[in-house]
Each structure stands twice: as structure tokens, then as C-alpha cells.
Amino acid sequence: MDMLARYLRFIIALRSLNLRISTAEVMDGLEALLAVDWTSRSQVETALITTLAKDARSRRLVRQAFASYFRPPEQVAEMLAQYAAQQQEQAQQLAEAEAELVFTGPEEEWTQELQLSQEDKETYARLPEEEKQKLRDFLQQYAAGNQIVDPRGLMERVVQSQLNYWKRKLLAEEEERESRQVQLKPLETGDAELDALLSQLVVNVPEEDSLLYQDMKNIEDEDLPRVTRLIQQLTRRLAVKISRRYRQSQRRRLLDLRRTIRHNIQYGGVMFRLKYRHHRLDKPRVVLICDVSGSMARYARFVLQFVYGLAGAVRDVEAFVFAEDLERITPVLKQRQGFAETMSEIMARSKVWGQGTNLAQALAQLERDYQRVLTPSTLVILLSDGKTTGLEQAAARLKKVRGRVKHILWLNTLPRKEWPLTRAPRLLGQHARLLECNTISHLEQILSRHLSFA
């Protein structure tokens, strides 16, 4: 594999770790590589960190990813061989699952394979042997006493129900293991050779950054003061970014140092061409709708704290909480009492905090009582796990709201790998941009990207 191909695959690896890298920065990195000695590992690493990292956290990430990704050829060959062996073992397990998940007729007159999804078979392959045996015994016992001519449909539903239970159980166990050691792992790309390399790319998160990547529901009460300080730091930085947005300009007002450096890499770093910027004054208009039902209340606290810190930088913030009904909390946020006092007052006044979820009813109330906030320039941010009664009605209501506003972002607190297990992402995702948001890092990236350009 030549250096260009390895570089582009490294970019894919960094992006799969949620590091934002623009096309212009990819080109800057390539120009920087052309200006250094490729045989010098330190020069290549410095060139990539300088052009691809934006702050201390991203520099640490690029440095660790570089060390894990750019390995000697013999180590790469060994990784490819190990990955191929793992893929072969998984294929064998799936073949065994297909052979075992069958329904046999009386006296073995006929055998039918259950029509299960690939994900169902993968779940079966991961089960403990005793659980596999229970399913096999169930199929045999049902076949022996069955009088239905073609019971396959019923059997498939029973087996799928059991496998869905195990999907959730295995995911919960995996989340528990990951919560004890916070690591960043790349997503699969579908490219077998690249996935083989990425399977070994694991970035350990420093302790000082660990709270950024923990699921917010798992953050301990003793860590809340640290989280508060962390969110204050992030919101101050993001508020400055939002309120001091700049558009490129030929006027000689303020030097754009970052663009100047990028455009002068081709001259060996000599500042031949200077780039400037000027102030852009407009601020985004935001409507925040937070689910505060029993499963969501803890997430809502962190999101409200984040938006509370951005109130001075975002124009006309309207904030609501909902469970079965909708409540407007904007007046409380505008009092600027301090976040702890603000949250205490919101929870004391609320009649819906911790109740069940009815998104359709909440959206109907939003349309009926607060039409003025739904304008073509409004960005709606909906925080919810989608676990609501009347899901079809909620989707219809969300479609109506979408027709009146600029964008809807749905911050889904369920991990992305759980989305196929529920109907909400498929139904509600048709009318909103669906984004995974269960860590402070997710929240910062989403608000930074979308509020800066709302």
C-alpha cells in the first residue's frame, strides 16, 4: 500500500473516531507530507498533527491514532492474518447457527430453516452454550407436540423474541464493560482490509477527558462537580465561537491565522499570502425540547446545563420539557440565578418530571400554544430516546412541525447499535436528522457544528 492510500485511510480512521476533518485540511495534510521526509516517522507525525488537529484533545487523539495505525509492514501483515482468521471463525459460527436454528417435522419427515435476520444469527452465535441448548430443546419439544401444518411463522416470532432479549442483555453487558475503561474505537467501514487495520486502532482516553466520553446516565453523583466545571469550559468556548463567527473577506481587518498558515504550506511555511476575516453578527434561533420522563431525566439535566451556558450566544432560545405534557421553562432560564438554583426551580415547578412519555401530545401542544416560535429560521433540537406511546401519531406530528421550521435535530440517547432494535429511529428519523447523543462529547460536537451554522 503506497503512502497516499495509507494517508487517506488514516483520515477515514480519524473521522470514524468522530474527529472533524474538512477536505481542505485533508489537502493541507497531504501538502505537509510532500514537504517532509517520509522515512522519518517523527516528521510525518508532526506534519499530520499540525494540519489535522485543532486543539489539545484532538492532538492527543491524532498522536495515539498515529502510533496505533502506522505500524511496521510485518505487524500489518500479522494483523491482516488475525483479522482473516476472526472473520473465518465468525462465518463458521453463523453457518452453525443456520444449521441449528431449524424446525423439524414429525418423525423428521421435513426440516425447515427459520427465516431469521443476519443480526439474529449473530446474536445466537454469541450466546452461552447452555442458552443455545435451551433454544434447540424448545424447537425439538415444540415439533414433537405440534399439530399445526406450517408453524414456522409462529416459531420464528418466538425465537426472535428470545434473541431480542439477548441482544439487549449483551449490549448492556458490553456497555458496562466499556464504562469501566473509556476508549474510542473506530466504526466499521465495510472495507475488509481497512477494517482489519481499524480493528487494532483503539485510543485510550486520558483520565482528565474520561467524563467527555462516558454515557451521561452512568456519570456518578460524585463526579457532577467535575462535569459542571467541564461543561462550563466547553460552553464558554462554544459561546465565543458562535457569537464571533467570521466570514471570509478580502478586507484587511482581522488576520485569519489558521487559513493563512494553511494557504502558505505550499511556500514552505513562508507567509506570502495573508488571509483575513470580519465579524458576523447574527445568532441562531433555537427551540429546545427535552424529554424528562423517567428514562431521560438525567440526560436532560446535562443538555439543559449546556444550553444554559450558551444562552448569551444564541438568539431567542425557547426551552421546553415534556413527558406526557409540555412545559415552557424559558422564563426560569432567563433569570440567570446559577444553574443549580435554576434546575431546582425547574424540577420543583414541573408537573411532568419523571412521568411516562407522550411525544405526540407534547408536539400537539407546541403547535397549538407556541406557534410563534416555529418559524422558517428556527432550529428545533429534540432530546429523546424515542420510547413514547403513540409512535405513529408522534411521527405525524413531527412531520407537521418539520414543515414549519428550518431544521429538526433529534438527539437520540440510545447508542447507535441499539437503533435497529426499536421502531422510533425509522419512523421519527424520516422527519428529523437523527444524531447519537449520550455523551458530553457528542453534545459538544453536535451543538458546535449546528449552532455555528444555524
User: Tens digits of per-residue pLDDT, 367-405?
Assistant: 999 999 999 988 899 999 999 999 999 999 999 999 999
pLDDT at 237 over 90: no
**Mean pLDDT computed over 433-452:** 83
Q: Which has more confidence, 44 or 166?
A: 44
Q: What are phi and psi of 55, to 5 degrees?
A: -150, 180
Q: What are phi and psi of 171, to 5 degrees?
A: -65, -40
Q: Are residues 291 and 413 in the same domain?
A: yes
pLDDT at 251 over 60: no
Maximum mean pLDDT: which of 185-194, 257-266, 406-415: 406-415
Q: Which residue has the cell 425557547?
A: 318
Each residue of 109-162: pLDDT tens digit?
556 667 777 778 888 888 888 888 888 777 777 666 555 555 666 777 778 788
Please calculate the CA angle 133-156-108 and round it to the nearest 5 degrees: 65
Whole-number Å distance between alpha carbons of 414 and 396 = 22
Q: For residue 76, which of 30, 9, 19, 26 has the smallest C-alpha distance?
A: 9
Q: At what angle do helices 339-349 and 297-310 cross, to 10 degrees?
A: 130
Q: Are residues 392 and 446 in the same domain?
A: yes
Each residue of 281-303: pLDDT tens digit?
445 578 999 999 988 988 888 88
- Structural domain includes residue 105: yes
Each residue of 166-183: pLDDT tens digit?
877 877 776 666 555 555
The set of cell numbers assigned to 137 is 430443546
**Mean pLDDT computed over 330-343:** 84
Q: Which has more confidence, 76 or 299?
A: 299
For residue 391, the model assigns a pLDDT of 93
**Mean pLDDT computed over 438-451:** 82
Each residue of 313-328: pLDDT tens digit?
566 788 999 998 999 9
Q: Are residues 106 and 60 in the same domain?
A: no
Q: For residue 306, which of 217, 227, 424 has the smallest C-alpha distance?
A: 227
Whole-number Å distance between alpha carbons of 162 and 137 = 14
- The DSSP result for 281-314, as a single string, is ----EEEEEEE-STTTHHHHHHHHHHHHHHTTTS
Question: What is the DSSP code (8-state) at residue 36?
Answer: S
Whole-number Å distance between alpha carbons of 57 and 441 = 11
Q: Are residues 235 and 318 in the same domain?
A: yes
For residue 281, the model assigns a pLDDT of 44
Helix (H, G, I), strand (E, B) or coil at 277: strand
Q: Are residues 262 and 299 in the same domain?
A: no
Whole-number Å distance between alpha carbons of 407 and 432 = 7
Q: Are residues 300 and 422 in the same domain?
A: yes
For residue 105, the model assigns a pLDDT of 56
Q: Are residues 288 and 404 in the same domain?
A: yes
Q: At what angle do helices 152-180 and 118-126 cross, to 10 degrees?
A: 60
Q: What are phi and psi of 302, to 5 degrees?
A: -70, -40
Q: Are residues 338 and 276 in the same domain?
A: no
Q: How many CB atoms lie within 10 A of CB 58?
A: 17
For residue 199, the model assigns a pLDDT of 66
Q: Which domain holds residue 257?
A: 249-281
**Number of domains the chain is built from:** 4
- Structural domain includes residue 83: no
C-beta of residue 12 within 8 angstroms of C-beta of residue 194: yes
Whole-number Å distance between alpha carbons of 99 and 94 = 9
For residue 359, the model assigns a pLDDT of 95
Q: Are residues 57 and 140 in the same domain?
A: no
Maximum mean pLDDT: which of 106-110, 140-144, 192-196, 410-414: 410-414
pLDDT at 312 over 80: no
